[in-house]
Amino acid sequence: MGKKFPALRFFLYFAVIMLLGGAFGCAWMQDKSMTRATPQGLYQQGSELYQKKKYKKAISVFQRLKDEYPLEDVAILAEIGIADSYYSNKEYPDAYVAYDDFANRHPTDENVPYALYQMGMCRYSLIDTVDRDQSETWKAKTEFERLISRYPQSQFAVMGEKMLLDVRRMLAENEFYIGQFYFKQQKYNAALKRFEQIAKDFPNVGLDYKVKYFIAETRRLIAEEEHTARKRGKKLEQAPNPSI
């Protein structure tokens, strides 16, 4: 019987250790949970989820922070976090709304230039191919111009200028695409109107040389058509009247 006591004592010792460990573990988990529930803890959690590309979950955590602690400084950052999460998840319309809401709610915040830049990038990301409707291209142009106008000294204005140049090039290429279509259909007056519009509205975007060439070529062909029409008219005037 005596030989069984050590085994019994070992079992009780192990049970106590397990109970203590469980108690300490629960306390540790509780402390961790409480830390996570603080504004800073929630923001860190949302940021970690964002870094892991778990954008839906990040939005949920940032939204919780925004709802539960609306007066905390990190709640403002959470709004940016929500917008960034939408953007990184390629949900550009939702991202645009989130950035726009942030800029309207916090017009004096230092992150407004960034929000305006991202609004332009949301529009830019929705741009279709050169042969399709360019509504989003025009909207992107407006957003970048607004950023540059309101915050000319911002680093994001510098970035916006580069994007604006690209957007203007896209609009010029769309006009050129339409002009070439008319040109191939021998609708030279319509083509010339497009080419001249590019030269007027979109200079220095990389199309100057070929636009200049097509303007000259289209004018030459229009002149030829007019000359041919005049010659044909004269021949008709000089032709004898068969009724005489």
For residue 37, the model assigns a pLDDT of 83
- Summarised one tens digit per residue, pLDDT across range 109-161 is 999 999 999 999 999 999 999 999 999 999 999 999 999 999 999 999 999 99
| 22-31, 84-93, 94-103: segment of lowest average pLDDT | 22-31
Residue type, 125: S
For residue 229, the model assigns a pLDDT of 87
First to last CA, the chain: 148
Burial of 202 by CB count in 10 Å (0-12 exposed, 13-18 middle, 19+ buried)?
A: buried
For residue 80, the model assigns a pLDDT of 97
Distance of CA 167 to the CA centre of its chain: 12
Q: pLDDT at residue 221 above 70?
A: yes
- Let me know: does 25 contact 17? Beta carbons within 8 Å: no
| Mean pLDDT to the nearest integer, 17-34 | 43
CA separation (Å) from 51 to 45, 57, 139? 10, 11, 30
| Mean pLDDT to the nearest integer, 213-238 | 88
Tokens of 213: 């060439």
Tokens of 172: 């010029």
For residue 106, the model assigns a pLDDT of 96
- Let me know: does 102 contact 115? Beta carbons within 8 Å: yes
Q: pLDDT at residue 27 above 90?
A: no
Phi, psi of 134 (to 5 degrees): -110, 30
| Mean pLDDT to the nearest integer, 65-71 | 95
